[in-house]
Amino acid sequence: MAGWKELLVDVLKLTDEVKRLNRATDLLSERTIDIDKRLVRLETVVEIGARGQKKLPKSK
């Protein structure tokens, strides 16, 4: 059975790992929001471009 010192060291290591993972998650969240904003802008450009195009006549 591990002594209290080993348990304390393990808890501190786990705390550091959780903090590191939390920072990584925050960065991924920010990147996801940036990608979403870019996609919305791209969709807007495509929709505006599609409105400006004339429809082709149906071929028989």
pLDDT tens string, the chain, 60 residues long: the values are 679 999 999 999 999 999 999 999 999 999 999 999 999 999 999 999 888 877 767 776
* Residue 2 exposure: Cα atoms within 13 Å on the Cβ side: 8
Structural domain count of the chain:
1
Residue 34 lies in a domain: yes
- Could you list the residue range(s) of the whole structural domain that residue 38 is in? 21-47
10: which residues sit within 8 A by CB, 6+ positions away? 2
Residue 29 lies in a domain: yes
Residue 26 lies in a domain: yes
DSSP 8-state assignment for residue 2: -
Calpha distance 33→28 (Å, rounded)? 9
Tell me the pTM.
0.63
